[in-house]
Amino acid sequence: MLASITGNTKILGVIADPVSQARTPAMANRLLDERGRLGDFVMLPMQVSAEDFPAFITGLRALKNFGGAVVSMPHKAVAAHLADELTPNARLVGAVNVIRRNGDGRLIGTMLDGEGFVAGLAGAGYSVKDAHILLVGAGGAASAIAFALAKHGCASLCIQNRTPDRVSALSERVRHAYPQLEVTTAIHETSHYDIAINATSLGMKPNDELPIANPLIRHCDLVAECVIAPEMTPLLQEASGQGKVIHTGVPMLAAQMHLMLAFMGAE
């Protein structure tokens, strides 16, 4: 591998804070190796704080051998404002999880989290069509997943988050784009969900609270995660202990990987 890295190698990145838990570099470089493209491209972790992120993005425009990057927490929403151009899906969601650098230095952003999540579920044999779904989160990934669930025909969508204003804003945007869909922000005692999704960062740290309250898990058939590391989060452990079907965050990333590399020009 080292011998294949030359002065012509294009650098791809994973930008996050923290980044130590990221599986994307290993998965991407393995795919590049399988395709005979490792050396033409290589993916590296890039730990950048929220405070330094705007300046870092400016620097990427000047880095001529930079091909693109996967953008992870906490930068997805800010990246949408800093990119020079957004794909229609990124504009709709208001967040970016992949950027590429064009030859003129312009940065183009897209959002693949939603389609990746739905594809990951489908690959495990679960469909969101006609499903009643609970989505916890209102950030970039949650927004992308909300629009993808609506696009793929879920029957109803209940969105929860610790920040009421963000939940209200996301709910209104989804209703505006999909007026036929029942979108709520309230949970009732009789509520039942075919699928419950954690699209927050809760679960990455050992002392995080459960993103879905213990009693509410009993009202859900399948509990799904977006957190990748640890793969078995406390939420999934609790849901499994209650006899629920669980779905880790890894299939969401795996389903996106080919799309991410293609967008960054590493076909």
Catalytic residues, by residue number, are 76
- The residue with tokens 């300046």 is 55
CA nearest 206: which of 228, 232, 234?
A: 234
Q: Residue 134: beta bridge partners?
A: 158, 196
Phi, psi of 229 (to 5 degrees): -130, 115
CA–CA dist 216, 224 (Å, integer): 14
Which residues are CB-neighbours of 199 under 8 A, at least 6 positions away?
135, 136, 137, 139, 141, 142, 145, 226
Q: Report yes or no: 264 and 100 within 8 Å, Cβ to Cβ.
A: yes
Q: In what order do the strands lie in the sheet with 132-136?
A: 182-184, 156-160, 132-136, 193-198, 220-225, 245-247
CA–CA dist 14, 211 (Å, integer): 25
Alpha helices in 86-179 (DSSP H): 88-93, 113-123, 140-151, 164-177
